[in-house]
Amino acid sequence: MNTLKTLVWGLVRPSCPVHGAIKRRALSTVSPKTTTPSAPQGSVVPGEVKVADQGLNSFALADTDPKNHRPGDEGKIFKLNKDELKKVFPETLAGGFQRILFGRRRPPPVKVTPHWLELVKKDQPGFVIRKQAIEILSTLHCLSKQGVKDGKPAINCPGFLLDGAPGTGKSTILNHCVHWARSSGEWIVVFVPDATYYVDGVGVFQRDESGREILQASHAMQLLQQIINTNREKLAALPTEGALAKGGSKNVAEAIDNLLGMHIIQREEAAVSTCVNVLDALRTQTKFPVLLAIDEINALCGPSKYRDLEFQPLPASAVVLARALGRFQDAGFARGVVVGAATRTGEYSNIPLPSFGARKPLQVRGLSREEMRAYLAYMNASGDLFAPVTKELLDYLQFVTAGRPRDVEYICSSELFNVGQNNAPKNKKVGKFFARTFGGYDGMILPPTLPPVALR
């Protein structure tokens, strides 16, 4: 046991606290240096950015505009701007990234003590660009051009399904795809960051006359508001047909605005049907490519927490909005693609995955050793990680987390590697997370100072 404590202590404690602090300050203040096309062999390519320190503490930054990401950007760090993320993702981010950057997606129904992780709020977020993200982005770019030259634009693709163990970065890849599509300006994007929200029994709902279908007016109005906020110009170019044209609306954007401008009683009565009609209009149109991105997508294929009038459980297909979103999982778009990420945690983790036209899901595994090294170096340079990157640190984290980005974030945010730097609550000197998390950890074992034992 003493040998194990000594080993872990040796991994997390730099040789000299003063030298470590100076090194961190130097890394955080060095201005990135961009190479020129005539750089000598062995240097980074044009557009690639590295910190001055080479070796284990070096990393490369990708372009800050995701529409410029290319296959060569795999393994680079995509640095994010929190203010920009709020504009790009009015629906909030998918997965645990939302919790790390902004806290809970929705306030709990009762007052609870926030978890320390919700108080971290990283200032300089970023993530590693994964291989699966590059594959999807490259395919989406090609699909958006399909049939355009012939005047018959169409997309014949069942979509992409991301699967893997919890915390491997499936939701982050989905966020990357949504960010890319909205940055390109070509796509109509419908983003559902948590499909379980539609089947969890949350919020006000109604039943139809038979009692076997669930109508969620508040969910429908919220979804329509998000769709119009991020795609107004493109929706204004889509003429209304069928049920959407009955109210005198000339285009889809006007139909949504008319609904949101109604009296609250009329709005609740027409919200669900209007939302379903808007989704059907996006399914049949061919003027713009449509991306339907759904996190926790397998929750739409299983049970729900709603019950009928006899208090018998209802499947997710009985929820009108869940059924409307799930109908596209078998290539239901004329010119659109579905990108979904499965949930492998909670009550919906064991629900069978949707078929997606019998296409095999993309398996997302943990970060490779090189990807983890680059990400740790980025966190160290931005001040999120106290300890510099060492071979022992990489070995330890690779063994403990199996490369899962979520676990890497949790461990680094809890300041496991700041132990021994005189970081006790009364003499805290460095590490910004301590003040925000009120300690960050409870009962962490510090180096023992045992009194001498008298020998008998």
Polymer length in residues for the chain: 456
pLDDT tens-digit map of 316-368: 999 999 998 887 665 578 899 999 999 988 888 888 887 766 578 899 999 99
pLDDT at 383: 78
pLDDT at 447: 44
pLDDT at 251: 93
Q: Residue 403 corresponds to which amino acid?
A: G
What does the alpha-carbon distance between residue 284 and residue 286 come to, in Å, rounded to a whole number? 7
pLDDT at 296: 92
pLDDT at 415: 53
What does the alpha-carbon distance between residue 247 and residue 203 come to, in Å, rounded to a whole number? 28
Distance of CA 125 to the CA centre of its chain: 12
249 pLDDT higher than 90: no
pLDDT at 306: 93
290 pLDDT higher than 50: yes
What does the alpha-carbon distance between residue 251 and residue 415 come to, in Å, rounded to a whole number? 53
Average pLDDT over residues 128-143: 94
How buried is 406 (Cβ within 10 angstroms: 0-12 exposed, 13-18 middle, 19+ buried)?
A: buried
Q: What is the DSSP letter of 70?
A: -
User: Per-residue DSSP letters for 294-346?
Assistant: EESGGGGGSEEEEE-TT--EEEGGGBHHHHHHHGGGGT--SSEEEEEE---SG
Structure tokens at 339: 């990108």
What does the alpha-carbon distance between residue 16 and residue 422 come to, in Å, rounded to a whole number? 12
At 383, give phi and psi (nearest 5°). 90, 5
pLDDT at 273: 93
What does the alpha-carbon distance between residue 243 and residue 230 come to, in Å, rounded to a whole number? 23
Q: What is the DSSP letter of 56?
A: G
When mean pLDDT is compared across 59-63, 324-328, 450-454, the lowest value belongs to 450-454
- Which of 380, 388, 381 is CA-nearest to residue 28? 381
pLDDT at 354: 76
Average pLDDT over residues 54-64: 87
**Over the Cα atoms of the chain, what is R_g?**
25
What does the alpha-carbon distance between residue 27 and residue 383 come to, in Å, rounded to a whole number? 9
185 pLDDT higher than 60: yes
pLDDT at 358: 59
Structure tokens at 154: 């169409």
Confirm if 234 and 336 have CB atoms less than 8 A apart: no
Q: Please name every residue paired with 207 in a beta bridge, in sequence order, or none if there are none.
A: 214
At 347, give phi and psi (nearest 5°). -70, -20
Query: CA angle 130-135-140, nearest 5°?
Result: 125
Q: Which residues, including other chains, have CB under 8 Å from residue 372's CB and lie 6 or more apart?
A: 394, 397, 398, 403, 408
Confirm if 415 and 441 have CB atoms less than 8 A apart: yes
Structure tokens at 385: 């990680």
Structure tokens at 351: 């629900």
Average pLDDT over residues 150-159: 84
Q: Please name every residue paired with 448 in a beta bridge, in sequence order, or none if there are none.
A: none
Confirm if 204 and 217 have CB atoms less than 8 A apart: yes
Q: What is the DSSP letter of 143?
A: H
Confirm if 346 and 196 have CB atoms less than 8 A apart: yes
Could you tell me what percent of the chain has a pLDDT over 70?
74
What does the alpha-carbon distance between residue 269 and residue 259 come to, in Å, rounded to a whole number? 10
Whole-number Cα distances in Å, 110 to 14, 106, 107? 43, 12, 8
More confident of the two residues 14 and 189 = 189
Structure tokens at 427: 């003499």
pLDDT at 127: 93
429 pLDDT higher than 60: no
Average pLDDT over residues 154-159: 83
